[in-house]
Structure 1
């Protein structure tokens, strides 16, 4: 839980972060660029587009790009049947055009050349990237006469834009590599090789992929660990792995006596693939060298030249930054998840009661760390249950969660008082003693009565209500005992509530990651949870818990903590 929120704010935050990354990627392009979704609505623009079109981003985003911008030479609206850009958009194919016109915000016309290419938008799905420039401004040019023959400036800019947007929209290292492969083959090469340096300074050949027509074939026999990086070797891959320079290479480069184990592997690569020309560039972040990218031509005619290196270096530089971000993200996620798992307790063994717990970390590392559960035996023999969600995420939230849990345990053990009074004391201490700003919490006690039946008493500090399902599948939310969340500074009496737990009934305590989903209200999430929980009431408790998670399918916007408890069936009660 990042902050007190209403339904839908979690997904909005996630989408907002994705849109911000997309805008940053477009701003790295040296000409006008925008992205449209599958309906043709603009979802992101760069700052140069705002200047060229004399329109602020808020006047562009959400508008139909064709209807808002595309015009004929005299400023007349352009029918979609005559719009080559719109036709290519619907066909999902790359296309480009010259001498066309966009309408500016002041009513004047902007003469443009354009190129569009399809690509995947993070979250919504299919999208289209539009890159345009004016003849007056002109796009940046590359040195070398062969450049215009092989790839136009607009195509180059579109490829770089697509590289940035594709790679920055994932924080998974393997997925980033797969996207990089699809970007460069067969467009620039028919072979691509990726060598990465691990955190232990070992080199792994993580990808050797061939473009066989439109099919990408992975050659796993050529992948795997590589020899160490030689410190002084002048050979192309060795230099790239040291971050020295981009270089051209061919089979003849490695025909002499090898100066290192890497040179031996390179000779094997050229022999096995038939590559006759290769360009090798370092994969670098702002902090370190991450590896090397090799593009190779075996079936494609012609050799790479020096004029090809700036484009390949630019792609490798953007890929290096994306891979470094993905590595940092995964490292952060692993630390937070490990800390969270170590802090979450083992469940006590209570005669007559079954308990099962699950914790699902969010895919986004920034969303890990705030959710927790607890169960422990109280000094009077009753069993305490707790479920909570601390404002914030990552290590700070995990540490705050540990503080809150430990204080709750101490109060609950030493003070033989109702749950409401325990949570009142906890709320009084949250602000002056802990690093927790706000949190939601359910604190409950389960006790066996003299007649052998079980009773639940609880207080709720701003948390989603517990769900109680009897053995016949009748399910109801326990909405009583509800009060303010912790840390508001508004102190006062809190309500208590109690209810009998029927024989064979199941109690479900959970965090909001289980019921929040994009495009869905909290009421819809609560209804879905109750529906599936009721249908699974007859399952053994571990199966009930796992099947419930599988059916509800938490969307992964937030982490999920889940605690389920079941009382003994009627024949065992008493």
Structure 2
């Protein structure tokens, strides 16, 4: 009787209810009287289908899945011999029909000197547990790999969605936090020795805690062993431990080290933003949880992110240089306005916002041999230097055709359309050409003006009277240049008298097209502002229009305003 366990069954249930092993109680007939939650989890059966069932018939199976004779069941020895039994290799039948390899032990529950129940304690055997742990580790590794691939794909998509470098880096930071770290900072090289912090992203609501020094250019740390020096000069990728972060920085200009100190970081990864030609900056990802330091196997992923970000920055800078050259080229190619007193002219050209593609918007004004004035605004379809070059070709060609003959704008634009594809590199363009003509003696009291024009797919001119009425002149519309069918259709001119004191505004679509807004809304907004500015001098009229139009446009803008003198 030395192996007996004189204890109440209720006490046993209380003691083993939360045990991380299966516990089953059976009576002398082998019927299950109680079972703990972990046992139900292992065998995959609900408690209501287990209690009252024969333990041997319900669960006990050989390795081949067959039911062994009852007399071979080791639990019989527990009852008959009142002793403990240990079985290291056995199988229990699970609810889904599979076999669960187990090791188990049985002990008699004795009351009044007699065995009344049997307590069975079981769990997966070591081999099965090791196999399960291996499978779990493999699954976790696959999930981790899938998560990393997903993150890299998202980062690649984000970096290619904008050609504005600093906006792309801030978007990158918002993807990395909190998936890879708690804080992210990006420092870009400025010249040979300068470093400028351009992005700081942290937990939601806390970004301002690390804004000190952002957008300030500092010198690269002098010490060759300083973190930034190693990353920017040697193209190294570094992991920093808590001890390294808490150590005093080697240089007062070690901006990365100061940043980590400020945040109380306990681990950090610093990698170069690199291209095949150069290192353009450094990406720092910091963690503040001491229980979650960076592991060496995480560094290749972070370095790959840095490489992708470096290529995105390089592409953005190349685009910005090209864009700046195109904008400067357009500015220099736009003409000085002629003096056509008593009429007055004003014009404005506004490049596209930084990070947007440059179009081919332009304006022109030319006094013709017969004394009339030609006004033109246009937009060459295309971007960057090709659009700027095409704009120059088209403008010069239009000047020659307008000067060559005294004819209506429709005929001039028709000849331009016929020759454009053969003489220029422009494939398509919009254009509005107007001829300002006098009616009566220009110097006399009855002098009047009228506008004759044709539009090749261009927004209509806006006529604003000095009384504050405004209307779009929708007549004279035709196909844009380069889109005419093989069968030629004659373009038609429109004619409109210009009241004394009125203003005619010619403009390109960048003035009225805004992100998140339809064209009608933009046209109505322009009309309201033009009415409010009707009495302003032409220069102020154009400047105020540009200031009043809301941000959100992504195209460049060309404006040309003509003011007719007041009566008398």
TM-score range for the pair, normalised by the shorter chain length: 0.5 to 0.7
CA distance in 1, matches of 2:268, 2:517: 51
- Is the CA contact (8 Å cut-off) linking 1:407 and 1:426 kept in structure 2? yes
In structure 2, the CA distance between the partners of 1:549 and 1:239, relative to structure 1 (3 Å rule), is same
Query: Please, what TM-score do these two structures have when normalized by structure 2?
Result: 0.64
State the Cα RMSD in Å.
3.8
CA distance in 2, matches of 1:403, 1:222: 44
1:215-234 per-residue CA deviation (whole Å, 9 max, x = no partner) reads 1123434864344588x946
1:50-199, aligned counterparts within 5 Å?
152=144, 155-185=147-177, 187-198=179-190
In structure 2, the CA distance between the partners of 1:363 and 1:223, relative to structure 1 (3 Å rule), is closer
CA distance in 2, matches of 1:264, 1:525: 50
The structure 2 residue matched to 1:457, chosen from 442, 452, 469, is 452
Q: Which residue of 1 aligns with 2:363?
A: 373
1:40-439, aligned counterparts within 5 Å?
152=144, 155-185=147-177, 187-198=179-190, 200-207=191-198, 209=200, 211=202, 214-216=205-207, 217-221=209-213, 224-227=216-219, 233=224, 236-242=227-233, 244-250=235-241, 274-297=264-287, 300-301=290-291, 303-363=293-353, 367-439=357-429
1:563 correspondence with 2:555? no
- Is the CA contact (8 Å cut-off) linking 1:243 and 1:282 kept in structure 2? no
Higher Cα Rg: structure 1 or 2?
A: 2
| Alignment gaps of 5+ in structure 1 | 1-144
Q: Which residue of 2 aligns with 1:38?
A: none
Report the CA distance between 1:407 and its aligned residue. Answer: 1.7
Q: Which residue of 1 aligns with 2:112?
A: none
In structure 2, the CA distance between the partners of 1:157 and 1:506, relative to structure 1 (3 Å rule), is same
In structure 2, the CA distance between the partners of 1:228 and 1:398, relative to structure 1 (3 Å rule), is same
1:131-188 per-residue CA deviation (whole Å, 9 max, x = no partner) reads xxxxxxxxxxxxxx9x969x95565455444433433333222222323333344554
Instruction: Report the number of matched residues.
Output: 422
- Is the CA contact (8 Å cut-off) linking 2:228 and 2:254 kept in structure 1? no
CA distance in 1, matches of 2:549, 2:202: 40
- Is the CA contact (8 Å cut-off) linking 1:365 and 1:394 kept in structure 2? no
In structure 2, the CA distance between the partners of 1:431 and 1:148, relative to structure 1 (3 Å rule), is closer
In structure 2, the CA distance between the partners of 1:247 and 1:374, relative to structure 1 (3 Å rule), is same
CA distance in 1, matches of 2:350, 2:147: 43
| Alignment gaps of 5+ in structure 2 | 1-136
In structure 2, the CA distance between the partners of 1:412 and 1:228, relative to structure 1 (3 Å rule), is same
Q: Which residue of 2 aligns with 1:94?
A: none
1:437-465 per-residue CA deviation (whole Å, 9 max, x = no partner) reads 23222222224441322222223333222
- Is the CA contact (8 Å cut-off) linking 2:437 and 2:451 kept in structure 1? yes
CA distance in 2, matches of 1:265, 1:391: 46
Task: Give the SS at the match of 2:339.
Answer: coil
Task: Give the SS at the match of 1:476.
Answer: strand
Moved more, 246-255 or 469-478: 246-255
In structure 2, the CA distance between the partners of 1:283 and 1:554, relative to structure 1 (3 Å rule), is closer
- Is the CA contact (8 Å cut-off) linking 2:274 and 2:281 kept in structure 1? yes
Report the CA distance between 1:516 and its aligned residue. Answer: 4.1
Task: Give the SS at the match of 2:345.
Answer: strand
Greater relative contact order, per chain length (Cα 8 Å cut-off, separation 6+): 1
CA distance in 2, matches of 1:438, 1:213: 47
